[in-house]
Structure 1
């Protein structure tokens, strides 16, 4: 059985929030999600604070710059690479100042190798995913950079247990062969599952060696490859609850049976009128009932989250959604204890 670093009845966020003040965002997260806080991402600060640019800044010896079409590899570091690193450095300084004494689980997020490869362009304009050699180099560079990032976070929050979330929203499109070409008129070839699994596994093994971090993978798209992610070494999977259809029951059931944690996005990520608390919890209960696992395991294995990042939400709704996630997790835990 997989041992989870969070307490039963936990909730957390996915990653991004509105605004441009990292200290304020982190204080909100610590206040609303004390059992399992995470490092907020604030893409409203501009290029380099977005998911792809932020993670591209961690690449070792693979600088990037911003083109009108998006991020592209460069011959040498320029102002765009410097800006991405400055944003992250500021966030880590705030983390050390505000949460340096945190002594529980703490989650950080980086873009996974396949989403980066499907997004960043080669120097001549094609996406990196088109070139197997470029994918290999990118994955190795990312693993080295993220390992150093994890070590830096551990130094700044020495009593915390670090959870590393690899964001892979593009992975289903990579496997299906629906990633567009640079022109937008064509589609890049599909990547075979064993190849995708192998690249992701090597990334996880490198970054999480010697128990440096607890690995989980987030994919908020449809057609989440549950089996692939589990075989690649993810100890938890973060998904939008709406995208767990019955056709995936075998793969999801096998993951649960293996003790894999499920971070279930049960709360809308964009501004919405929330239903009663029980209505938020019921889809999670219904999912669990489909498999017949003991209710007590639900409270230990499931972490409640918003459906995805919340960069487009209002600050007021962010607090409401995080509180709803926490209250839902608490309700599920109390029901399991009855």
Structure 2
């Protein structure tokens, strides 16, 4: 049983965080620091989309209709931040051997957030969202190759962040006017674009919404699923149980990202209780990865975030005892 975080962390100290992560979690990761300009998850994804040009508007990122040669100053800056972070990773992970995770905003969340050149979300245009997904997949493939080159001993795990996918499937993403919603996407359509990313190696899809579409994630070929355990309803637990028994790795979000920090027994209790209620084999609990409930980018301070990361290994001991009981 292992521990990791889910991507975002507070503050702007990439060097300090890289050192902490290599020491304090079992699966270190290249962090996103949204407090920095161009350090958020969307800017990170736009930096990877080298086949399409985009600029940053007051309302967010927008494709401009040109190719890479017409990339805006903002897009070039986002790429510069990512290169600097890779330099730090290479420096601090010199000689590292083991799992190493990188995160990227998924194609559906990106399509539901980024605008077309003439307005409204890319989600509205079938061809545009496919083009964006393919460009993102191309960029992710090269990004993973770069990480492997810089840290040759790493077994790279790709995390796809899809917080908006439940709303996309439900037809709940507002149009630009705000008077209507974008048409819902069916499950097979969602699987089709996600599957562009699951062939690059071990892949975990992360969605900390109340109703994560776990079946979509497993059908896309993802080997892992990351969810906020506190938000799962009964149907969600049923799907999670099916995924566990099919061999999926579960990234169980057990530590709240804000508020009072529970002790390890309190944090572990929801997972252990529901596992037993579903009648799942306790041995399968050993394939669980313990994580915060979601990203820690909005924790009150780096010290607070470190305390939440430190709690993860204490939870492992409690869950491990339950698995052996």
Classify the TM-score, shorter chain: over 0.9
Correspondent of 1:311 among 288, 291, 297: 297
User: What 5-or-longer segments of structure 2 have no aligned partner?
Assistant: none
CA deviations 1:112-144 (Å, max 9, x no partner) are 100100010000111001000001101110111
Counterpart check, 1:218 vs 2:209: no
For 1:216 and 1:275, the matched residues in 2 are separated by 26
| Secondary structure of 2:159's aligned partner | strand
Correspondent of 1:66 among 40, 44, 56: 56
Contact 2:227–2:251, Cα closer than 8 Å, also in 1:
yes
Q: Which aligned runs of 4 or more in structure 1 are off by greater than 4 angstroms?
A: none
TM-score, normalised via structure 1 length: 0.92
For 2:144 and 2:202, the matched residues in 1 are separated by 11
- Aligned counterpart, 2:4: 12
Deviation at 1:252, TM superposition (A): 1.6
For 1:149 and 1:199, the matched residues in 2 are separated by 18
- Aligned counterpart, 2:279: 292
For 1:249 and 1:43, the matched residues in 2 are separated by 31
Counterpart check, 1:199 vs 2:193: yes
Contact 1:12–1:326, Cα closer than 8 Å, also in 2:
no
Contact 1:63–1:73, Cα closer than 8 Å, also in 2:
yes
Contact 1:57–1:64, Cα closer than 8 Å, also in 2:
no
- Aligned counterpart, 1:3: none
Correspondent of 1:183 among 177, 182, 205: 177
Q: How does 1:298-337 map to 2 (within 5 A)?
A: 298-299=285-286, 301-313=287-299, 314-337=301-324
| Secondary structure of 1:324's aligned partner | helix
| Secondary structure of 1:106's aligned partner | strand
- Aligned counterpart, 1:43: 34
Paired residues, what number? 320
Q: How does 1:1-338 map to 2 (within 5 A)?
A: 9-33=1-25, 35-46=26-37, 48-74=38-64, 75=66, 76-205=70-199, 208=200, 213-270=201-258, 272-299=259-286, 301-313=287-299, 314-337=301-324
